[in-house]
Amino acid sequence: MKAVGYFHERARRGNVRRSVGEQNRAFLDFCTQHGYEIAATFLDTNDAEDADAGFVQMLSYLKRDGRGFMVVVVDGPGVLGPDLGKAAMRLLMIEATGVQVLSDQTGQEVAKQLVDTWADRGDGTPVSERVRTAMRRKAVRGEALGRPPYGYRVGARHRLEMVPEEAVVVRYIFRLYLQEDMGIRLIAGQLNADGIKTRRGGNWSMVSVRDLLKNRTYLGTYSRFGVKVPDSHPALVSTDDFRRVQEKMQARNTGGRKRTVQPFLLSGLAYCGRCRNRLIGVSRRQTWTTRDGEEKKASYRYYQCESRTNQNSCGYNTQRAAELEAAVRENLAGDTMNAQKIHRAGNTDAFVLDLLTQKAKILARMKRVQRQVEELVADAAHGHITIERMRTLGAEHAREQVELESELTATEERIAAQEGEGQRQHHLEELRSEVVEGWDSTPFAQLREQLREVVDRIEVDGEEMRLFLRP
């Protein structure tokens, strides 16, 4: 059996700081006492530029094939993170590789030690249990938390109250779907044609109609934090009608076949030249029988204006996917391209602004995942779930966090690569040639990322297309 040691300069045991030398001696003593063969050791320092570099190297080491039975040994939860929440995330990331994490002090699993510490902790932790408990109590009383759904408002007693003019629209949507047999897209188009606006004053879309039809709040039952309070507010639809709607939506969704989603190369780049909304990828499948009785199948892929697809508005601006993608490649390959350079926003390159926005979104997602892990540990600490259940649920969060950290690193590298006008222009020209030459051989995800770096947007209206390049 082999053991991997992980040390950190910030490590503390209780309130006492532990030096790297002390951590290493404790690790060696643990391996000698329990008969473990030392496989490797990894160290992280307090250097901001190389933060967690050792941890990343260790994860890569643990994912190697043929590693055999192995454990990671640490001096305690404090080695894994500056607070219990971050330590929990790092712990789950290690365990997601299939490796157990032990404490060299007790020989116990660090997961149990971390949960016990969380249960005994004082104030100042990442997740406030007092706030969480108070919100649970409010949910039990049926008091509304967060923004109320369309058709309701929060009343004086913090209960949901009906908004008469919106309640009429909710019942109208259910009637169109059930009695008029209209699909979700047609309902969105009908609402927009009738001049009915959403609560924010915008147009209805397929997503907003679908979410409304699936919202169980309209049955009069309030549900939050796993708590359900029947008859907490006025119902807008009957139980029978709601059930029939769900059955009908389920039948339409399944359609007797398993749905596979294939991404589109120009998603997020192609726009309608008429209404300036995005063109979204649409797949159509067709089955027919020939005169000889042979069954034929075919699938078609299009880019279609989102306004028409989701809101049943705008004209019939639809492009065959293969033809539009070929036209984009041809324009990129031409010596005198039908392309325009976009203007800069102030002194900052537009692509850098996009990258900074992308970085902010990644950080926001990482913060959300971190919060979800902290809530799992809190639930385990208070006996709401077992430690094994915490591991199972947390494994997916840990894998997502690893992917997000990889995305963040790549994005930060791309931001740094944009320094220098001449260097950037040369880089974009080389990348444009690489896109054209490797169009058929480059992996899909890589080609799409390259296109986003070279192309700002593509505007299409019928046979007319305008390609806007990054400056």
* pLDDT of 348: 44
Q: Which of 55-64, 112-121, 285-294, 303-312 has the lowest mean pLDDT?
A: 303-312
Q: What is the mean pLDDT of residues 448-453?
A: 88
Q: Average pLDDT, whole number, for the chain?
A: 83
* pLDDT of 305: 86
Asked if the 2-120 domain carries CATH number 3.30.450.90, the reply is no
* pLDDT of 255: 52
* pLDDT of 258: 52
Residues 32-52 pLDDT 10s: 999 999 999 999 988 756 778
Nearest Cα neighbor of 460 from 349, 306, 354 is 306
* DSSP-derived secondary structure for 154-222: E-TTSSEEE-HHHHHHHHHHHHHHHTS---HHHHHHHHHHTT---TTS----HHHHHHHHH-GGGGT-E
Residues of the chain above pLDDT 70, percent = 85
pLDDT band at residue 453 using 50, 70 and 90 as cut-offs: confident
pLDDT band at residue 336 using 50, 70 and 90 as cut-offs: very low
pLDDT band at residue 210 using 50, 70 and 90 as cut-offs: very high
* pLDDT of 215: 92
Structure tokens at 115: 């949960």
- Asked if the model's pLDDT at residue 344 lies above 70, the reply is no
The better pLDDT of the pair 439, 422 is held by 439
- For the chain, domain boundaries: 2-120, 137-254, 340-469
pLDDT band at residue 313 using 50, 70 and 90 as cut-offs: low
- Asked if the model's pLDDT at residue 437 lies above 60, the reply is yes
Burial class (CB in 10 A: 0-12, 13-18, 19+), 291: exposed
* pLDDT of 155: 87
* pLDDT of 124: 43
Q: Which helix (H) or strand (E) holds 88?
A: helix 84-95
- Asked if the model's pLDDT at residue 345 lies above 50, the reply is no
382 contact partners, CB below 8 Å, separation of at least 6: 119, 129
Burial annotation 421-449 (CB, 10 A radius, 16+ → b, else e): eeebeeebeeebeebeeebeebeeeebbe
Do the Cβ atoms of 133 and 145 come closer than 8 Å? no
Residues 363-421 pLDDT 10s: 999 999 998 898 888 888 888 889 999 999 999 999 999 999 989 988 888 777 765 55
Rg (C-alpha) for the chain, rounded Å, is 28
285 contact partners, CB below 8 Å, separation of at least 6: 297, 298, 299, 300
pLDDT band at residue 337 using 50, 70 and 90 as cut-offs: very low
**What topology is assigned to 137-254 in CATH?**
Hect, E3 ligase catalytic domain fold (3.90.1750)
* pLDDT of 290: 81
Residues 153-174 pLDDT 10s: 998 778 889 999 999 999 999 9
